[in-house]
Amino acid sequence: MRNGSTFLSLKAPAKINWFLKVIGKRADGYHDIASLMQCICLYDNLLFELSDTIEVLSNSEDIALKDNLVYRAACLLKEYSSCKQGAKIVLQKDIPIGAGLGGGSSDAAQALLGLNKLWGLGLNKKELSLLGTGLGSDVPFFFDAPFALVEGRGEKVTKYRLDSPVVLLLVMPPFSVSTAWCYASFDKLSTGELTKKPIDIKLFCRALRSQDYASLCAMLSNDLEKVIVESYPVVGEIKNRLLEEGAAVSAMSGSGPSVFGVFKSKKAAISAARAIDSDRSLIDWYRVVRTLI
């Protein structure tokens, strides 16, 4: 912060889903899930300045103001707190939109945290997280990031710890996917036999720590992946290509369509990125990143 408390700058990290299990559909239309999420070193930036009204400026033309989660978060917090102040928020997007990387949810969480501080509201993280639940199912995770098990609709978050980061190559095909469409398509394809088997989180974390890729490969799964691959086969092609180029394991993140590959070193990930860079039928965007711990 500078000039007292009139300016604030925050980073909003993206996330990946190590696994995503759909447990069942709820009466409210949402789905109960179990997902192990981890933040990565890919960020949007939010700049806050005190103002009389709420204004959000973004370098992305793909987000209408009424759909912008930062704007919605600001309006929600202002109404909840009866705050008389406003804010000018500049959102600098670097996380692809509609990629399954949680950019909008992370932005919303940081907007709540930033405005809580800028406006001097003094709300605790639990209150802000509860507000965030109304904005999106992934929002509460970002209050307990960088590594956590997310359950229920997304409101049940259990933090875990890892000792060392993992190198990833993220690949985004030349299209985005609506989360709502993905879950609606999942419901249409579902046979009613949803995931009931409990996930051994300790075993999964142990495999990550020890880089036991054989075990990870057996546990890495995303129940939404089949839906996406059926409509967009290129997602499966990207997974296979990452494995061909040396990824130890590969999976789709969230509701897609971005895919990540786990590599043993940054050098190996960069080499793989160069190998597949020229194939624009597969790739619109890619980035070598590491997980946050």
Write out pLDDT tens, residues 38-58.
Answer: 999 999 999 999 999 999 999
| Single residue among 159, 178, 203 that ends a domain in this structure | 159
Work out the percent of the chain whose per-residue pLDDT is above 90: 80
Backbone angles phi, psi at 78, to 5 degrees: -65, -45
- Identify the domain containing residue 243 by its residue range: 167-290
Q: Are residues 29 and 153 in the same domain?
A: yes
CATH number, residue 109 = 3.30.230.10
For residue 52, indicate whether it is catalytic.
Answer: no
Q: Are residues 194 and 104 in the same domain?
A: no
- pLDDT tens-digit profile of 171-208? 999 999 999 999 999 998 876 555 556 678 889 999 99
- pLDDT tens-digit profile of 265-282? 999 999 999 999 988 778
Beta-carbon-side half-sphere exposure of residue 88 (alpha carbons within 13 Å): 7
As given in the structure block, the two tokens for residue 290 are 């590491």
pLDDT at residue number 278: 82
Using CA atoms, how far apart are residues 79 and 75, in angstroms rounded to an integer?
A: 6
Using CA atoms, how far apart are residues 239 and 258, in angstroms rounded to an integer?
A: 10
| Single residue among 159, 184, 202 that ends a domain in this structure | 159
Q: Are residues 146 and 25 in the same domain?
A: yes
Using CA atoms, how far apart are residues 235 and 84, in angstroms rounded to an integer?
A: 47
For residue 138, indicate whether it is catalytic.
Answer: yes
- Beta-carbon contacts of 50 under 8 Å, excluding residues fewer than 6 positions away, are 5, 6, 7, 85, 86, 87, 88, 118
Reported pTM: 0.93
| Single residue among 130, 159, 188 that ends a domain in this structure | 159
Active-site pick, 107, 138, 144, 223:
138
With both helix axes pointing from N to C terminus, report the angle between 103-118 and 69-81 in degrees, rounded to the nearest 10.
30
Q: Does 78 score more than 80 pLDDT? A: yes
Band (242; pLDDT cuts 50, 70, 90): very high
pLDDT at residue number 4: 44
CATH number, residue 273 = 3.30.70.890
Q: Are residues 258 and 199 in the same domain?
A: yes
- Contact present, 179 and 252 (Cβ < 8 Å): no
Q: Where are the alpha helices (DSSP H) in 193-281?
A: 201-210, 213-219, 225-231, 234-244, 266-276
- Contact present, 87 and 50 (Cβ < 8 Å): yes
Nearest residue to 201 via CA among 42, 38, 41: 38
- How many domains, in total, are found in the chain? 2
Report the SS3 class of residue 93: coil
Domain-embedded: residue 131: yes
Q: Are residues 26 and 151 in the same domain?
A: yes
Band (2; pLDDT cuts 50, 70, 90): very low
What's the angle, vertex CA 198, arms to CA 193 and CA 203, rounded to 5?
A: 140
